[in-house]
Chains A and B, each alone.
Chain A
Amino acid sequence: MRAPSPALRVEELEIRLLQDALVARWGLDFRRWAAVPFRRRVRAFARARGVANVSELVPRVVHDPAWRDALVAALSRQDVALFRDPGAWLALRHKALPVLRTWPRIRWWLPATGTGEDLWALCIVLQEEGLWERSRVYATDLSETLLHAAREGREGPIPEAWVENHRAAGGKTPLERWLRRDDGRIALDPALVGQVAFARHDPGSPGTHNAFHAIVFRNALVSLDEDAAEGVREMLWRSLVPFGMLLLGRRERLGNAPSSGHFGVVDAEERLYRRVR
């Protein structure tokens, strides 16, 4: 392994300045995010905004909440399809729901809702499986901007890949029934969105959490460094009722982390776990 190049060392310094500014000014703590993906996201944001280098972002995000919000959205946004990795949704349908069904009420949490793809998928599955009436879904994210997109949807047609994913995920109804708004946007049926509890929340923040029966948290641990990810896994565990279910991303795992002993494997390939202690 080489020492970083002089240019990279300067950029690392600029990134530390940006992280310190965000935490000091706004209480937004990105200091324990995985360094390399974080750096690439910041670089891409600076480029897209026509800013010559990372340190020029500092005064802008300190003084201008619009820049702050745009940066936070760019840092946490995932580019994912609806029903991405359909096998995970099949596992949820066939291995998690039969257990969750035994509870009179099911409290769901999506701590990294982003632009809403997994939220919409979950709501559709709950409708299709007749569990919507018994469920209460809490959708949170670090970024208010992204949550707004999850609530309000976006322009454009429903991508064909989404339809295929939905079918592969055991879909039983036409997607348009849930996602097509009268004004032509793609967004979740207002009757469903109206039942979801949205809130801004940083999954890395300390504090106690609700007792949830299931948590869907896919591909957000990859944004954090190993220590922070372990802290979040511990928090997820504390936030679940005994035997509550946890769905992670397809290439994330609990591994040998200390928290892994708190979970039992329901489906190893699809990263479906449940709280056992």
Chain B
Amino acid sequence: MTTAGVLVVGVGQGAEEPLVRLLSQLPRTFPVPVVVVCHGDDPAMLARLQRCSALPLEEAVDKEPLRPGRVLVAPSGYHLLLDGYHVALATTPPEHGARPSVAALFESAGEVFGDDVVAALLGDGGMDAAAATAALPEGATVVDETEGVATWTARLAAGTVGVAP
């Protein structure tokens, strides 16, 4: 059976609307952690996302654990990497013109969760998004903010997609 370990979401500059659509489709019982990297620096966006998300949503702090059903958003000016079930922030240079970089998140997620990664790329993330697609492990699931995530969430709820241990 296919399993899901983490939902990683890369959001191009100005693609807040699709992100809101995606978040609003995740039910309160969502069983895997969600990690979001957004391009651009809009300090007011976090509060707007919190209002539309049924799941608890916070800006990530270094070394905090991933938890099922919690959304962590990368702080601006830091890369967000996954180190096992923990967040690792980094102030290394931008990658593919971006910091935080979606590619850096997807690559590190692939190293931890293999093909249990479920990924969504929203809006136009430019070179960073292209590199992120290339960094996804073979067999990873790709969803979008409309039918894709809704169908996949329904399958998770029905148990036809498992949750990775």
* Chain A interface (Cβ < 8 Å from any Cβ of B): 1-2, 4-5, 8, 34-37, 40-41, 44, 77-80, 84-85, 219, 221-223, 226, 229, 249-253, 255
24 of the cross-chain contacts (CB-CB < 8 Å) are A1-B164, A2-B113, A2-B116, A36-B81, A36-B83, A36-B108, A37-B79, A37-B88, A37-B90, A40-B81, A40-B92, A41-B92, A78-B92, A79-B94, A79-B99, A219-B89, A222-B62, A222-B63, A222-B78, A222-B89, A223-B90, A251-B60, A251-B61, A253-B61
Q: Which residues of A contact B92 (CB under 8 A)?
A: 37, 40-41, 44, 77-79
Q: Which residues of B contact A1 (CB under 8 A)?
A: 5, 84-85, 112-113, 164-165
A252, B61: Cβ atoms closer than 8 Å:
yes
A251, B75: Cβ atoms closer than 8 Å:
yes
**Of the residues B59, B82, B93, B113, contact of A251 by C-beta under 8 Å:** B59
* Residue in chain B with minimal CB distance to A11: B111
Query: Which of B61, B84, B165 has the most A CB atoms < 10 Å from its CB?
Result: B61
Q: Which residues of B contact A253 (CB under 8 A)?
A: 61-62
Q: Within the assembled complex, what's the spacing in Å between the Cα atoms of A81 and B5?
A: 35
Query: Which of B59, B82, B111, B165 has the most A CB atoms < 10 Å from its CB?
Result: B111
A40, B114: Cβ atoms closer than 8 Å:
no
Chain A-chain B contacts (Cβ-Cβ < 8 Å), number: 82
Q: Which residues of A contact B35 (CB under 8 A)?
A: none
Q: Within the assembled complex, what's the spacing in Å between the Cα atoms of A34 and B79?
A: 14
**Of the residues B83, B91, B116, contact of A80 by C-beta under 8 Å:** B91
* Chain B interface (Cβ < 8 Å from any Cβ of A): 5, 59-63, 75, 77-79, 81-85, 88-94, 99, 104, 108, 111-114, 116, 164-165
Q: Which residues of B contact A4 (CB under 8 A)?
A: 111
Q: Which residues of A contact B108 (CB under 8 A)?
A: 36, 40
**Of the residues A5, A37, A85, A221, contact of B81 by C-beta under 8 Å:** A37
Evaluate whether A79 and B113 lie within 8 angstroms (CB atoms) in the complex, with A40-B104, A221-B62, A251-B62 already known: no
Query: Which of B62, B75, B88, B92 has the most A CB atoms < 10 Å from its CB?
Result: B62
